[in-house]
């Protein structure tokens, strides 16, 4: 049985394998969990110990932020190689104020699926705004439609916290897909 609000993840066998996002999340969780003991018996060699799936369950997660993209609108039409205005709203649906630095990325996609192989990155922005719990920020940004990108009917996708810098309550709600198709034709 899976307990709600549990943390599950792959623990690297040494610190060189852990990226900074993993180390930040592990540091955050280790400050929350006061004591976790691993008792290992009958190990013949302590030179390598691999813990593949460590699960800490039954412990409530602390209050954290939760970024989500709630709206995307393309304001004008553009041809490949031209700028277009894009407006999106980022909300913090978490329980605490957010004062960190994160990235937001804009993609063009031929389908309505975020994160698959057909999404083309068109812009990444570094964000340094504070965002209170329950608050939102509206962005208006010019993005360049790639001259060599896909043509035809495309959708904009925006991803909040695209570099996974913020420890969030829910990482799966960071994408939003524009409801309106835009037609891009090569000259």
Q: What residues form DSSP beta bridges with 159?
A: 105, 175
Residue 20: C-alpha distances to residues 8, 15, 17, 25, 164 (Å): 18, 10, 10, 9, 10
42 pLDDT more than 50 = no
pLDDT at 147: 84
pLDDT at 29: 52
Structure tokens, 51: 């813990």
Cβ atoms of 12 and 62 closer than 8 Å? no
Structure tokens, 49: 């110990």
Average pLDDT value for residue range 47-59: 51
Which domains are present in the chain?
7-56 (no CATH), 67-184 (2.60.40.10)
pLDDT at 79: 79
């Amino acid at each position: 049985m899976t307990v709600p609000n549990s943390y599950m993840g792959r623990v690297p066998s040494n610190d060189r394998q852990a990226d900074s996002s993993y180390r930040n999340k592990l540091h955050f969780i280790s400050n929350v969990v006061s004591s976790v003991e691993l008792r290992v018996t009958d190990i013949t060699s302590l030179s390598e110990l691999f813990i593949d799936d460590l699960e800490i369950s039954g412990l409530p997660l602390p209050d954290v932020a939760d970024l989500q993209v709630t709206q995307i609108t393309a304001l004008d039409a553009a041809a490949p190689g031209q700028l277009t205005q894009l407006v999106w709203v980022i909300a913090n649906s978490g329980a605490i104020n957010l004062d960190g630095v994160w990235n937001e990325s804009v993609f063009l996609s031929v389908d309505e699926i975020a994160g698959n192989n057909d999404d083309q990155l068109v812009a990444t922005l570094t964000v340094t705004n504070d965002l209170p719990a329950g608050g939102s920020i509206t962005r208006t940004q010019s993005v360049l439609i790639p001259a060599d990108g896909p043509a035809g009917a495309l959708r904009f996708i925006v991803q909040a916290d695209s570099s996974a810098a913020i420890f969030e309550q829910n990482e799966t709600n960071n994408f939003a897909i524009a409801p309106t198709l835009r037609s891009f034709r090569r000259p």
